[in-house]
Structure 1
Amino acid sequence: TGAAKLEVLRLTEELDDAKREAAHFRDVARKHKMRSKELEAELATLYRQGIQAREALLAEVAEQQRASSRVVDEHMRMSTAASESQAFKLQQRVAELEALLGHKNQSLALAEQRLQQAELTRV
């Protein structure tokens, strides 16, 4: 009958529309899945780059700490050497002054002896 044919035609069109809509949604889902994979790959790349940058920064900080430590060590060595040199010079000067004092004490003792002899000869 004509009404049944029209109903079949209408249902066929609805089925075709539903198939097109399902194909469209599958296509959209496929595109989203592809984009999701692209974003995951990009995120993984950024993560690796972040780790590499962090490692490079840590290496740079460690090198700066080593360099700073070397500078401090060198400064301490130079300071110690200067102090030791100054201490040696002071020890030399003390020895010189002690020798001079010993010489002066001998001279004083001789002068006192002469003075005593002079007093004895005057008496």
Structure 2
Amino acid sequence: MNHNLQNNMFSEGYKLFGQQTRDLVKVPCLSPRRLKVAALLPVVVGIVVLLVTWWFRKMNFSLFVRMIPGVLTIATAVILFYIGFVNIRGFEGATYGILAFFLMIFAIASFVMAKARK
């Protein structure tokens, strides 16, 4: 097998099973590309949540309204973690767990920002 083709297959999530038969089987793996997406997506969503919370605070809305973005983010993170842990499992489910973890961090930051006094 061509060495470049084999490296390309491993980077795309393929694994080679059975050295004698050379069977090619698609196996989900936690590739660097998936880790980048799993880390970048919650950062973008988290920044949007923080900006909405900041805007609600600047507009002098009540504490209940200022906490809505954080509550929705926590609910989304819990649902994503549940889907990744129960339904998907394995390395694909781990990306959902990473996504949920970072969303929780941004939700906590949103709660702190919403409760802060001027």
Question: Do both share a fold (TM > 0.5)?
Answer: no
Larger CA Rg, structure 1 vs 2: 1
**Larger strand fraction of residues:** 2
RCO (CA 8 Å, sep 6+): is it higher in 1 or 2?
2
**Larger helix fraction of residues:** 1
